[in-house]
């Protein structure tokens, strides 16, 4: 018989997973939606499947870190404390959505659990320090890898994988067989099919990486309390993520799909690949990663590298330079556009480092991404320290 308090904990965990599904499906499959490579229903299905695969394999390592290693004595995860921690995580997600800033769920979850551990005198400072170091190092790694790609390899990648959509549907139903199957339409070329495959594969990789890291944010407190076993907790968390992917994610998919049409598809693929790879690596060593911050730094690095790339002799002779493309608060330039003859160019067309950021928007995003986890940490500590019902 499930106790009423455990049922409340499961409901709150489902709420957290639901928000995770809504928040992470769009970054994963926004490029595919923008390129008309997948439907919103297909994106929701792929997100659910690959999130589950990531959670079931590597994700349990991050659950162990948050639920059993971040505090010396997992007994501090009483059922009441676990419900409170999940409440702080869910509340932080809500605040981030209200302000339109994608808050780091992982940082918020770690902060809430750290507040509990600190109040109880059971915080494992060694594990906390290791997590904090990787939080500082991983965005820097992503920034420099993306900068190098943008500066030296982006043009080659763009020529290799850039895709232009043809008119009409990508696939048609072939009814000439006993069992009707989808087949490429007459207007679809091989290069386009290759581009579609890459975009969808990258989305699946991002969904997998999200599962490896984010499943812990929804279920770690309940698993740490011993009230819920690992395997059923993963199933419940992934089910909740799937609900979010099929429902509230549709709106964010529409928004991101439209916005990403302004972002060169090659740039979206580079940022997604570097970010997802780093998140999977961190999850494999048990570190809860902030995909939002890593992806932001990768986008900044890629834009900076593109803006400062060396101009080759053939480009100088032809009068070709990079042209900036505005994407939200950042600017990413698109290579290969031919400018007017030398001497007649508009100087403002050549991007500088200052063009890469909208200072006001960037400051707001960075501030909120740090303030929200800090508020969760302080709130959790104050609650567990001064509210006697928890008995710490």
- Residue 169 sits at φ, ψ, to 5 deg, of -75, 155
Long-range contacts of 344-351 (CB under 8 A, 24+ apart): 345/319, 345/321, 349/321, 349/323, 349/324, 350/321, 350/322, 351/307, 351/322, 351/324
pLDDT, position 334 = 43
Lowest mean pLDDT among 148-157, 280-289, 324-333: 324-333
pLDDT, position 101 = 61
Q: How much is the average pLDDT of 211-217?
A: 93
Rounded to the nearest integer, the mean pLDDT of the chain is: 78
pLDDT, position 215 = 94
Q: Which pTM does this prediction carry?
A: 0.79
Of 327 and 96, which is predicted with more confidence?
A: 96
Percent of the chain at pLDDT exceeding 70: 70
273 contacts: CB under 8 Å, gap ≥ 6: 202, 205
d(CA 323, CA 379): 46
Q: For residue 228, list its beta bridge partners.
A: none
pLDDT, position 187 = 58
Pick from 76, 80, 67: nearest CA to 5: 80
d(CA 91, CA 378): 13
């Amino acid at each position: 018989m499930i106790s009423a308090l455990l049922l409340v904990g499961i409901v709150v965990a489902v709420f957290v997973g639901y928000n995770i599904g809504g928040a992470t499906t769009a970054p994963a499959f926004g490029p595919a939606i923008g390129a008309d490579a997948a439907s919103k229903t297909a994106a929701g299905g792929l997100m659910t499947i690959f999130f589950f695969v990531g959670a079931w394999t590597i994700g349990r390592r991050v659950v162990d870190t948050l639920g059993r290693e971040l505090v010396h004595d997992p007994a501090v995860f009483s059922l009441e404390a676990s419900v409170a921690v999940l409440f702080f995580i869910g509340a932080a997600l809500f605040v981030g959505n209200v302000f339109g800033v994608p808050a780091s769920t992982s940082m918020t979850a770690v902060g809430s659990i750290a507040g509990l551990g600190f109040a109880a005198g059971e915080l494992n400072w060694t594990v906390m320090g290791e997590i904090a170091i990787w939080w500082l190092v991983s965005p820097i790694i992503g920034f420099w890898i993306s900068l190098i790609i943008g500066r030296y390899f982006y043009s080659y990648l763009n020529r290799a994988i850039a895709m232009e959509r043809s008119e009409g549907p990508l696939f048609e139903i072939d009814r000439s067989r006993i069992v009707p199957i989808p087949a490429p339409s007459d207007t679809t070329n091989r290069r386009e099919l290759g581009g579609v495959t890459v975009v969808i594969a990258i989305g699946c990789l991002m969904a997998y990486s999200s599962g490896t890291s984010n499943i812990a944010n929804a279920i770690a407190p309940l698993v740490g309390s011993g009230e819920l076993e690992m395997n059923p907790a993963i199933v419940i968390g992934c089910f909740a993520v799937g609900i979010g992917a099929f429902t509230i994610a549709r709106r964010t998919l529409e928004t991101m799909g439209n916005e990403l049409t302004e972002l060169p598809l090659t740039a979206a693929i580079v940022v997604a690949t570097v970010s997802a790879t780093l998140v999977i690596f961190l999850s494999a060593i048990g570190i809860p990663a902030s995909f939002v911050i890593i992806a932001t730094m990768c986008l900044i690095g890629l834009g900076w590298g593109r803006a400062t790339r060396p101009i080759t002799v053939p480009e100088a002779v032809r009068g070709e330079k990079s042209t900036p493309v505005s994407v939200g608060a950042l600017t990413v330039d698109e290579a290969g556009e031919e400018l007017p003859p030398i001497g007649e160019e508009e100087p403002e067309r050549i991007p500088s480092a200052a063009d890469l950021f909208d200072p006001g928007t960037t400051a707001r995003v960075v501030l909120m991404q740090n303030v929200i986890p800090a508020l969760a940490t302080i709130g959790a500590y104050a609650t567990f320290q001064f509210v006697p019902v928890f008995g710490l």
